[in-house]
């Protein structure tokens, strides 16, 4: 079953074509990686999928519904949750509170329940217990009461993922999750992504780190200058001539 389908998505910025007629199907289940050199249009593609940018042409179909041009919060409500290339935490909140914010879509209550301590308490207890579970999964339990701004970079990334998981996504978009992580942290992250996928959340990620991609992805799609130039299993893509040319330059260039 196809969970996400891009149909002829084109994004122009003035004369620059950031995405050129990209069509891509992401099946439900497993992990798909989008790779490509710097400036290939990967983040633009993520912005289009998650509703932060309306494409010039084309459609984004999520779970059978056309979500092209829907606002990010409306996209999130349907179960498509993203993280950011530059980690976007709520820095003045504690680690635990960050994850609690992630429960927004799965809780109810506005001003009235905020002013009724008894009703608020039972909702809050439930939110707290789910948030603690998620922190345990990413290994941040000990830091629950720390301010998010005080975390080292690698843990900030893990926290952002825990917060996204709190929203119970069907499709989780990770924008360069391994960027800035050391080798140990990258291994830990790969393990976490495998567990998330095994629990039935479809993962779509952008990545530079090829060994990381080969390690976690079931399918790989390659973008170059806004065009989709290859897709397939990691092994197939690694052997693809166009992909090698995009990453290393053409054979002639390599000889020169």
Partner 1 sequence: MTWLTTIWVEAKRAPALALLWSLAGALVIYVFATGGYLIAVLQFAAIYVVFVTGLNIFMGFAGQVSFGHNAFAAIGGYTSAVLTATYGWEPLPAAALGILGALLCALIIGYPTLRLRGHYLAMATLAIGLIVYEVAVQWQSVTQGYMGISGIPPIGIGRFAVTSDRAILVCLIAIAALGVAAAAGIRHSRLGRALVAIAGSEDAARALGIDVARYKLIALLISAFYAALAGSLFVHAVGFVSPEVFGLHMVVLAFTMLYVGGIGTVAGAALGALMIALLPETVRRFSEYQDLAYGALLILILIYAPGGLASLSRIGWRRRVKEVA
Residues that bind partner 1 (CB under 8 A): 50, 52, 71-73, 76-77, 81-84, 88-93, 97, 100-105, 107-111, 113-115, 117, 120-121, 123-124, 127, 142-143, 145-147, 150, 152, 163-164, 167
Supply the minimum distance, in Å, between the C-beta of residue 63 and partner 1: 15
The DSSP secondary-structure symbol of 142 reads: G
Residue 40: alpha-carbon gap to chain centroid: 17
Supply the minimum distance, in Å, between the C-beta of residue 255 and partner 1: 45
- DSSP per-residue letters across 52-111: SS--SEEEEEETTEE-TT--HHHHHHTTEEE--SS----TTSBHHHHHHHTTGGG----H
Question: Which residue, 167 or 237, is less far from partner 1 as judged by CB?
Answer: 167
Question: Which residue, 56 or 113, is less far from partner 1 as judged by CB?
Answer: 113
* C-alpha span between 100 and 167 (Å, rounded): 9
Tokens of 220: 């790989």
Question: Which residue, 89 or 204, is less far from partner 1 as judged by CB?
Answer: 89
In Å, what is the CA distance from 156 to each residue of 53, 143, 191? 25, 11, 17
Supply the minimum distance, in Å, between the C-beta of residue 247 and partner 1: 30
Supply the minimum distance, in Å, between the C-beta of residue 74 and partner 1: 8
Supply the minimum distance, in Å, between the C-beta of residue 194 and partner 1: 23
Nearest to 227, CA basis, from 69, 43, 36, 83: 36
Question: Which residue, 37 or 139, is less far from partner 1 as judged by CB?
Answer: 139
Question: Which residue, 21 or 63, is less far from partner 1 as judged by CB?
Answer: 63
């Amino acid at each position: 079953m196809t969970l996400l389908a891009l149909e002829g998505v084109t994004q122009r910025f003035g004369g620059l074509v950031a995405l050129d007629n990209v069509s891509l199907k992401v099946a439900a289940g497993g992990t798909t990686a989008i790779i490509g050199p710097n400036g290939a249009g990967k983040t633009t593609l993520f912005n289009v999928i998650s509703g932060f940018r309306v494409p010039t042409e084309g459609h984004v179909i999520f779970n059978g519904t056309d979500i092209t041009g829907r606002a990010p919060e409306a996209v999130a409500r349907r179960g498509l949750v993203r993280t950011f290339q530059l980690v976007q935490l709520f820095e003045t909140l504690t680690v635990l509170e960050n994850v609690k914010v992630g429960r927004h879509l799965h809780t109810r209550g506005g001003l009235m329940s905020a002013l009724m301590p008894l009703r608020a308490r039972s909702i809050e207890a439930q939110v707290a217990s789910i948030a603690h579970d998620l922190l345990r999964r990413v290994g941040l339990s000990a830091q629950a009461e720390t301010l998010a701004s005080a975390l080292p970079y690698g843990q900030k990334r893990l926290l952002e993922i825990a917060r996204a998981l709190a929203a119970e996504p069907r499709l989780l978009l990770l924008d360069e999750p391994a960027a800035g992580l050391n080798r140990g942290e990258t291994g830990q992250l790969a393990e976490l992504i495998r567990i998330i996928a095994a629990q039935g959340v479809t993962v779509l990620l952008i990545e530079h780190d090829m060994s990381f991609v080969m390690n976690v992805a079931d399918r790989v799609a390659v973008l170059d200058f806004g065009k989709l130039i290859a897709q397939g299993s990691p092994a197939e893509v690694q052997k693809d001539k166009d992909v090698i040319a995009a990453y290393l330059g053409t054979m002639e260039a390599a000889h020169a």
